[in-house]
């Protein structure tokens, strides 16, 4: 919910299913968020964003014309054009590959399953998080992606300093930005990052970006 006196977040919604689009709009408005546009395609959403004045956008991953990854493509195009609004992607299925692409687009992004629409507080909180520059990933997606168990949590292996570095990575900081924020040398930060990836058992892979996977593991713990 918005704090008293604060202007409501301005959000656009994109989903080709009319009933779901209206359902998302109703949930967001019930949480104090102003839905300024509701469209059916990623192309239409991009045009709405170009008009300015938005804090965030909520869009389906699979939309016309191919019903594959149009939402992710829209996200990537918006980021390439310099847009920094919060963007929350919704999907019917947990697809780790899409999650990696979404989180690889930087901070202010999120990936949730559509079933969360039936959890108003979860959806509203996710929109508020991405609008403020944070990141959100559905726990089910994280579980499929990193295959970790609760009995042996790799994150528990990190030192306090490594945890701080990972937190800043999750906020979209580069190694140079982390060094400035924590008053560390760049080489020291690079050493911490290598240690984090090793402790999280994230080996080199042509399919997944290890830095993104590390951030996803952190987000999945929250």
**CATH architecture classification, 148-221:** Orthogonal Bundle (1.10)
- Is pTM beyond 0.75? Reply is no
Domains 10-145 and 148-221 share a fold: no
What are the residue boundaries of the structural domains of the chain, listed by start? 10-145, 148-221
Residue 6, pLDDT > 50, answer yes
Per DSSP, the residues of 82-126 read: T--SEEEEEESS--HHHHHHHHHT-SSEEEEEGGGGGSHHHHHHH
pLDDT digits (tens, 9 = 90+) for 28-57: 999 999 999 999 999 999 999 999 999 999
Tokens of 47: 């045009």
Phi, psi of 9 (to 5 degrees): -65, 140
* 3 contacts 31 by C-beta, under 8 angstroms: no
| CA nearest neighbour of 11 among 49, 56, 50, 51 | 56
Q: What fold is seen in the domain 10-145? A: Rossmann fold (3.40.50)
Predicted confidence (pLDDT) at residue 141 exceeds the cutoff of 90: no
What mean pLDDT comes out for the span 209-218?
81
Report the pLDDT value the prediction gives residue 93, as an integer from 0 to 100: 86
Per-residue pLDDT reduced to its tens digit, 77-129 = 999 999 999 999 999 988 877 888 888 888 899 999 998 888 899 999 999 99
């Amino acid at each position: 919910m918005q704090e008293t006196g604060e202007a409501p977040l301005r959000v656009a919604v994109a989903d080709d299913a009319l009933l779901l689009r209206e359902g998302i709009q109703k949930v967001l408005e019930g949480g104090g968020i102003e839905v300024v546009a509701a469209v059916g395609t990623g192309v239409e959403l991009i045009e709405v964003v170009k008009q300015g004045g938005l804090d965030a956008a909520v869009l389906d991953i699979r939309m016309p014309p191919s019903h594959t990854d149009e939402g992710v493509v829209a996200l990537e195009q918006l980021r390439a054009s310099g847009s920094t609004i919060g963007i929350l992607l919704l999907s019917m299925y947990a697809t780790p590959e899409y999650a990696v692409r979404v989180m690889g687009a930087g901070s202010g992004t999120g990936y949730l399953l559509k079933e969360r629409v039936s959890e108003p507080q979860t959806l509203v909180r996710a929109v508020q998080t991405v609008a403020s520059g944070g990141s959100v990933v559905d726990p089910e997606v994280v579980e499929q992606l990193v295959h970790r168990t609760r009995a042996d949590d790799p994150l528990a292996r990190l030192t306090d300093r490594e945890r701080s570095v990972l937190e800043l990575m999750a906020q979209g900081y580069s190694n140079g930005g982390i060094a400035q924020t924590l008053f560390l040398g760049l080489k020291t930060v690079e050493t911490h990052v290598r240690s984090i990836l090793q402790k999280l058992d994230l080996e080199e892979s042509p399919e997944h970006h290890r830095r993104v996977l590390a951030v996803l593991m952190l987000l999945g713990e929250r």
